[in-house]
Amino acid sequence: MSDSASIMNMAESHLIHTYNRYPIVLDHGDGVHLYDADGKEYLDFGAGIAVFAFGYNNKEFNDALKDQIDKLVHTSNYFYNEPMAEAARILTSRSGMDKVFFTNSGTEAIEGAVKLAKKYGFMKDGRNDHEIIAMDHSFHGRSMGALAVTGNKHYQEAFGPMIPGIRFAKYNDLESVKALINDKTIAIIMETVQGEGGIYPADPEFIKGVRQLCDERGMLMILDEIQCGLCRTGSLYAFEQYGVVPDVLTTAKALGQGVPVGAFLARGAAAECLVPGDHGSTYGGNPLACVAVVKTFEMIEEKGLIAHVNEIAPYLEEALDELAGHFDCVKERRGKGLMQGIVVDVKPADVIKKALEEGLILFAAGADVIRFVPPLTITREDVDEMKEKLACVLEKI
């Protein structure tokens, strides 16, 4: 077995350097803990960036995947398979959408949603110059279509020109949205809770106002719940808490518990505008990925995950509020459910590095936010342990 230094050197020698990785080689996980190749234990409050809702090494989930591996891992979309059909049935019925297209990632789900909006506009009036309104400080992915609707110039500047017809409004500012609407506008895309942009939940008046504008103007409301969906905010999808329903929904991350799978869903006329030849994916909807989706939804119900999130989230909020009250470098807490962030006036990278030394995994969100997106199965004891470790870090900083 190679030592950690050899593994890291091998990786840096052969991987394109698009990530500044921490000098840790993770080896295995169990529950809410990860272990590196040297045996050190880490309390994980990042969950693979909001992916592992049930934590690591869940036997029930693993067994479902193992059973499917022995049957069929992949075929093609020229044929049907039962896991795909069942995953589609469950996902549409639980989300309130009519139809679904399975992808391999959240970014691909955004790509599909953008294409769907363009085709919807074309079917409506035969024009192909329709525009989409997106939000400042949003993050939807790094492929060209997803990057075009990401409201961060830093991510875009080296890769222009972006696809045309994307205009950016201010998140939670309905008047700024209204000011951009014209006769070419066909869709408004936004995160129900902004993640990478700094953990900003949508204001109720804002998201309801966007829904009304879309209804009045015949535009599609596209909600990106790739990070905030799948029970993380205290409901299956965060939009349920606002009394609105999108026309198009994107989902991924916790959808497959680490198996690469995402989806975009649509309802009404939007669900019917893509036809054979308009879109495709070799691996989208393959049996292994779809078994992961089916098992995820089964476990959400069996384990009462939504109820647990609503029980534990206030305890996490209280712990973070206490840290904010005790340390001057913590300016505020914001978030929804188990998607929380604290604003700090020190470099988040410094906090995260020190936290790793204490055996705590955290991630940043934006330039000044520490993000907390732990497995949804965390307990009060896990929150207490996190709070103790983070307090130790903040004392040192």
pLDDT digit string (tens) for 3-18? Answer: 999 999 999 999 999 9
Q: Above 60 in pLDDT, residue 1?
A: no
Rounded Cα gap, residues 26 and 41, in angstroms: 10
* Fold category of 4-54+304-396 in CATH: Aspartate Aminotransferase, domain 1 (3.90.1150)
Taking only the tens place, the pLDDT of each residue in 294-313 is 999 999 999 999 999 999 99
What's the whole-number average pLDDT of the chain? 97
- Would you call 139 a catalytic residue per the annotation? yes
Q: Which of 233, 158, 159 is nearest to 202 (CA)?
A: 233
Q: What kind of fold does domain 61-302 have according to CATH? A: Aspartate Aminotransferase; domain 2 (3.40.640)
Active-site position among 45, 101, 102, 139:
139
Q: Is the pLDDT of residue 112 over 80?
A: yes
Q: What is the percent of the chain with per-residue pLDDT over 90, rounded to a whole number?
A: 99
- The active-site residue out of 118, 119, 253, 336 is 253
- pLDDT tens track for 139-164: 999 999 999 999 999 999 999 999 99
What's the confidence (pLDDT) of residue 2? 77
- Residue from 44, 54, 101, 224 carrying the catalytic annotation: 224
Domain ranges, ordered by start, for the chain: 4-54+304-396, 61-302
Q: Of all residues in the chain, what percent carry a pLDDT higher than 70?
A: 100
